[in-house]
Structure 1
Amino acid sequence: MTTDRVLLLAPRPNDTAPRLGAAAARRGLRVLTARDWRVPAAAPAAWPAHLYGGPLLADSVAGELGVLPLEPPADWLARLPRELSGRQVESVTLAEARRLRRPAFVKPPTDKFFPARIYPDGSRLPGPDAFDDDLPVLVSDIACFAREYRLFVLDGAVHTGSRYAVGPALDPLPLDEDPYAAEVRAFAAELLADSACRLPSASVVDVGLLQDGGWASVEANPAWASGGYACDPERVLDVVCRAAGPATEAADADRAFARPVPAGPSEFL
Structure 2
Amino acid sequence: MITDSVLLLSPRVNETGLQLRTAAGRRGLRVHTAAGWRAPEELLGAAVHVYGGPLFGDAVGGAFGLALLEPPADWLTGLPPELTHRSVSLVTLAEARALRRPMFLKPPADKLFAAKVYPDGTGLPGPDALDDDTPVLASEVVRFRREYRLFVLDGEVRSASRYAVDGDLDAAPLAEDGHRAEVAAFAADVLAASAAALPSAAVIDVGLVDSGPAGGGRWAVVEANAAWASGGYACDPDAVLDVVLRSGGPAGVLAPGDGRFCRALPEVVG
1:197 to partner: Cα distance: 6.3
Contact 2:203–2:224, Cα closer than 8 Å, also in 1? yes
Deviations 1:24-58 (A, max 9, x none): 11111110001111122332x33211000000111
Q: Which amino acid aligns with 1:109?
A: P
Q: What residue number does 1:47 align with?
A: 46
So what's the TM-score if we normalise by structure 1? 0.95
Contact 1:153–1:201, Cα closer than 8 Å, also in 2? yes
Q: What residue number does 2:110 align with?
A: 111
Deviations 1:199-253 (A, max 9, x none): 0000000000111111000010000000000000000000000000110000230
Q: What residue number does 1:20 align with?
A: 20
Contact 2:99–2:121, Cα closer than 8 Å, also in 1? yes
Q: Which amino acid aligns with 1:96?
A: E
State how 1:153-172 maps to structure 2 within 5 Å: 153-172=152-171
Percent sequence identity is 60
1:246 maps to 2:250 = yes
- Cα distance in 2 for partners of 1:99, 1:184 equals 36
- Cα distance in 2 for partners of 1:78, 1:192 equals 15
The alignment yields a C-alpha RMSD, in angstroms, of 1.4
Q: What residue number does 2:82 align with?
A: 83
Contact 1:106–1:116, Cα closer than 8 Å, also in 2? yes
- 3-state secondary structure, aligned to 1:253: coil
- Cα distance in 1 for partners of 2:92, 2:196 equals 22
1:94 maps to 2:93 = yes
1:4 to partner: Cα distance: 2.8
Q: Which runs of 5 or more residues in structure 1 are unaligned?
A: none
Contact 2:74–2:90, Cα closer than 8 Å, also in 1? yes
Contact 1:4–1:28, Cα closer than 8 Å, also in 2? no
Q: Which amino acid aligns with 1:55?
A: P
User: 1:255 pairs with 255, 259, 269, which one?
Assistant: 259
Contact 1:70–1:200, Cα closer than 8 Å, also in 2? yes
State how 1:62-73 maps to structure 2 within 5 Å: 62-73=61-72
Q: Which amino acid aligns with 2:21?
A: G
Q: Which moved more, 1:101-110 or 1:188-197?
A: 188-197
Contact 1:55–1:111, Cα closer than 8 Å, also in 2? yes
- Cα distance in 1 for partners of 2:37, 2:21 equals 18
- Cα distance in 1 for partners of 2:159, 2:38 equals 31
Q: Which runs of 5 or more residues in structure 2 are unaligned?
A: 212-216
Q: What residue number does 2:4 align with?
A: 4
1:66 to partner: Cα distance: 1.4
Q: Which amino acid aligns with 2:157?
A: V
User: 1:237 pairs with 215, 226, 241, which one?
Assistant: 241
Contact 1:70–1:258, Cα closer than 8 Å, also in 2? yes
- Cα distance in 1 for partners of 2:19, 2:42 equals 21
- Cα distance in 2 for partners of 1:9, 1:188 equals 29
Q: What residue number does 2:30 align with?
A: 30
1:189 to partner: Cα distance: 0.5
Q: Which amino acid aligns with 2:135?
A: P
So what's the TM-score if we normalise by structure 2? 0.94
Q: Which amino acid aligns with 1:119?
A: Y
Contact 2:202–2:224, Cα closer than 8 Å, also in 1? yes
- Cα distance in 2 for partners of 1:42, 1:196 equals 37
Contact 2:155–2:195, Cα closer than 8 Å, also in 1? no
1:196 to partner: Cα distance: 8.0
- Cα distance in 1 for partners of 2:147, 2:196 equals 19
User: 2:224 pairs with 206, 220, 229, which one?
Assistant: 220
State how 1:137-148 maps to structure 2 within 5 Å: 137-148=136-147
- 3-state secondary structure, aligned to 2:197: coil
Contact 1:76–1:197, Cα closer than 8 Å, also in 2? no
